[in-house]
Amino acid sequence: MLPISLSPYALDTMKADAETAFPNECCGFFYGKDGEVRQVIEAHPVQNSKEGDQRRRFEISPLDYIRAEKYAMESGLSLLGVYHSHPNHPAIPSEHDLKQAVPVFSYIILSIQQGNFDHIRSWQLDEDGAFTEEELQVPAAT
Amino acid sequence: MSKIIIPTPLRKFTNNEAAFETAGATVAASIEELVAKYPDLRQHLLDKEGNLRSFIRIYVGEEDINRLEGAETAVPAGTDISIIPAIAGGSGAAAVAQEPVTFSKAEIERYSRHLIIPEFNIEGQRKLKAAKVLVVGSGGLGSPLLQYLAAAGVGKIGIVDYDVVDDSNLQRQVLFGVESVGKPKVAEAAARIQSLNPHIEVQTYNTLLTSDNALDIIKDYDLVADGTDNFATRYLVNDACVLLDKVNVYASIFRFDGQVSVFNFVDEEGTRGPNYRDLFPTPPPPGLVPSCAEGGVIGVLPGIIGSLQALEVIKVITGVGKPLSGRLYLFDALNFEARTLKVHRDPSNPLNGENPTQNELIDYVQFCGTGYAEEEHKAEERPVKEISVQELKKWQDGEQDFQLIDVREPHEYEIVQINGKLIPLGTVSDHADEIARDKPVVIHCRSGVRSAKAIRELENSFGFENLHNLRGGVLAYAREIDPTLPTY
């Protein structure tokens, strides 16, 4: 797996979204440049469209997905993946995450403990259909 | 012409092309053109029969084709067709990248018949070993359940029961032998399954499951298998499972009938299935549906139904197959017929309907005792005159002229009787004229419940005032007056 790096702007957007959504799960897309290092430039929160209990589930509506692809085309950035939060759970993909995962995308998970950002990890589906962790380069705290 | 927008994850199969021009008049024709040009895409979009895969959604413009005409939806010129992968997930399931579960050589050999099933394999076995299952009730249903779950290698099994083994259990509760009689069920059950599989952990709770302890006991388990024999505990287990977000694998038996279902199961798309309250919003009036102790059960039936329950537990844990969620399986042993009914979620469910009103456990004994009209309740509760077996014996020995009526069923009368006149409960009103009014009448059944009902019915409808209920029924008579009589 190639490493993936986050811009401070993208990281701040994801953290703020995840902490605001607590105790529910948040979700969103991120965009950037694919190359030797997958560079995440910006992240865009989208509505968690999961009906019912959102504390342990998220879902992104098809129309939001269409908009995300459209935004990528218009902005010249690549749609690199999906982020979501695990409230009071570690940033490790669950069975649900695995069953719904698609290849190529990076899946960034933020662990939020009692409302505060705790840690962040990134995963990608490998050839065998299992999640492999990606090396995540996070900007130093300012 | 229109355009198919290729989602980013699939562009590696289209040489990184983001869009594909097509002249297809329908979605199906357009997709067919696309996969003809990029054959590697076919397996990602279509199944072997050529139908669109279920996890792929297709939109024409801004509308889901499933809301239009599916694959046959017409594509107006200039409209975009979007292929959309499902984007969903969440923390609400076991983490997949946790500490690896490993097996000793002895375990590998023991579980080899699981390991060689392609869709089960060592992954399924790992999930079993990592699983913690609580079995509520270690009687008829608990017997096959506990043995099969232990043998299959469920890593931790909890057993809740407050009862001791009785002679009358042995006809169906095959966990126990004659040496178990009089001993606590949980201890006997634990010893039996631990000898069946020493590689698992067994924890016992020698207590009645109540509103005070249920959440504390259940919270440590992944899944509950309900093998109880009464409505109060059934609602308690159900509500606790919904409140704690646990799957409840349910079964029940009565005489020749069995039921199985999987409650509060969340499928891989995150949709939660119904629970017991969606199926039965309120309990039946007390006494309408007797328990096995009152109504009897054919001994092999819990063996069949409890085994089906064990099967569903294993399926839910391993994710193999399609669990019995949203469906109720009914087995009629007399006619050897089985039916599977659909169960839907009820918007008025107090636990997780549209306007939930209940977020804690309640008093289930009261709930199941008052789930019917208050007036009827009072009539039921009005005490009837009673007589002890010792007094009856004196009357029988000639101290008093009286009439003895037995309101049990003919087949029970054949097992044991004490010279009463047989008038089964269901027919007492039809035979009211055969009941004496000029002398005391003693009415009895097996334990005293049905005879009290018969007395109330006769008093209310025919104005009898000379009826006495034999306290403890023929069971007490056999125990205290004539131990040579068999009990059942």
Largest CA distance in chain B: 106
How confident is the model at residue B93, as a pLDDT? 58
pLDDT at residue B179 is higher than 50: yes
| Residues paired with B405 in a beta bridge | B421, B443
pLDDT digits (tens, 9 = 90+) for B67-102: 888 889 999 988 899 998 888 887 765 555 445 688
pLDDT digits (tens, 9 = 90+) for B29-62: 999 999 999 998 888 888 778 888 766 789 998 8
pLDDT category at A100 given cuts 50, 70, 90 is confident
How confident is the model at residue B435, as a pLDDT? 93
Q: Is B57 on the interface with A (CB under 8 A)?
A: yes
How confident is the model at residue B289, as a pLDDT? 67
Q: What are phi and psi of B57, to 5 degrees?
A: -115, 145
How confident is the model at residue B372, as a pLDDT? 35
How confident is the model at residue B287, as a pLDDT? 64
Given its phi and psi angles, is residue B176 left (phi above 0), alpha (psi -120 to 50 degrees) or beta? beta
User: Per the CB < 8 Å rule, is A58 touching B92?
Assistant: no
How confident is the model at residue B361, as a pLDDT? 92
Contact between B165 and B182 under an 8 Å Cβ cutoff? The reply is: yes
| Residues paired with A33 in a beta bridge | A39
Arithmetic mean of pLDDT, B378-396: 80
User: Per the CB < 8 Å rule, is A69 touching B7?
Assistant: yes
Of residues A66 and A130, the one with the higher pLDDT is A66
How confident is the model at residue B269, as a pLDDT? 75
pLDDT at residue B327 is higher than 60: yes
Distance CA A100, CA A42 (A): 23
How is the beta sheet containing B421-422 ordered, strand by strand?
A: B386-387, B467-470, B441-444, B403-406, B421-422
pLDDT category at B342 given cuts 50, 70, 90 is very high
User: Per the CB < 8 Å rule, is A66 touching B59?
Assistant: yes
Pairing mode, strands A78-87 and A58-60: unpaired
- Residues of B278-305 as b/e, b for ≥16 C-beta within 10 angstroms? bbeeebebbeeeeebeeebbbeebbbbb
pTM for the structure as a whole: 0.55
**A 50-89: CB under 8 A from B:** 50, 52-53, 55-60, 62-63, 65-66, 69, 72-73, 78-80, 82, 84, 86-87, 89
pLDDT digits (tens, 9 = 90+) for B236-255: 999 999 999 999 999 999 88
User: Per the CB < 8 Å rule, is B87 touching A130?
Assistant: no
| Strand, helix or coil for residue B281 | coil
Write down how long chain A is.
142
How confident is the model at residue B48, as a pLDDT? 78
How confident is the model at residue B53, as a pLDDT? 77
pLDDT at residue A6 is higher than 50: yes
B10 Cα to chain A: minimum distance (Å):
8
Distance CA B110, CA B95 (A): 26
Show the tokens assigned to B478.
């056999």
User: Per the CB < 8 Å rule, is B84 touching A133?
Assistant: no
pLDDT category at B376 given cuts 50, 70, 90 is very low
Which stretches of B124-276 are assigned E, i.e. beta strand?
A: 132-136, 156-160, 201-205, 223-226, 247-254, 257-263
The chain A residue lying nearest B17, using CA atoms, is: A73
Largest CA distance in chain A: 40
Contact between A140 and A112 under an 8 Å Cβ cutoff? The reply is: no
How many angstroms from the chain centroid is the CA of residue B214? 17
Token pair 């207590």 in the structure block, residue: B207
User: Where is B4: in which H helix or E strand?
Assistant: strand B2-5
Which one, of B236, B234, B238, B224, lies nearest residue B352 by Cα? B238
Peptide bond into B9 cis (omega under 30): no
User: Where is A8: in which H helix or E strand?
Assistant: helix A8-21
pLDDT at residue A96 is higher than 90: no
pLDDT at residue B373 is higher than 60: no
Contacts of A52 in chain B (CB under 8 A): 270, 272
pLDDT digits (tens, 9 = 90+) for B431-475: 999 999 999 999 999 988 889 889 988 988 888 999 999 998 999
How confident is the model at residue A99, as a pLDDT? 76
Arithmetic mean of pLDDT, A91-95: 86
Given its phi and psi angles, is residue B61 left (phi above 0), alpha (psi -120 to 50 degrees) or beta? left
Distance CA B33, CA B27 (A): 10
Identity of the residue numbered B148: Y
Arithmetic mean of pLDDT, A75-102: 88
Tell me whether residue B15 is exposed, middle or buried, using C-beta atoms within 10 angstroms of its C-beta: 0 to 12, 13 to 18, 19 or more: exposed
pLDDT at residue B161 is higher than 60: yes
Pick from A65, A78, A104: CB nearest B87: A65
pLDDT category at B314 given cuts 50, 70, 90 is very high
Show the tokens assigned to A11.
């990281």
What 3 state SS string does B81-141 have? Answer: EEEEECEEECCCCCECCCCCCCCCHHHHHHCHHHHCCCCCHHHHHHHHHHCEEEEECCCCC
For the ranges A97-101, B106-110, B141-145, the lowest mean pLDDT is seen at A97-101
Distance CA B66, CA B237 (A): 38
How confident is the model at residue A50, as a pLDDT? 83
Contacts of A40 in chain B (CB under 8 A): none
How confident is the model at residue B371, as a pLDDT? 36
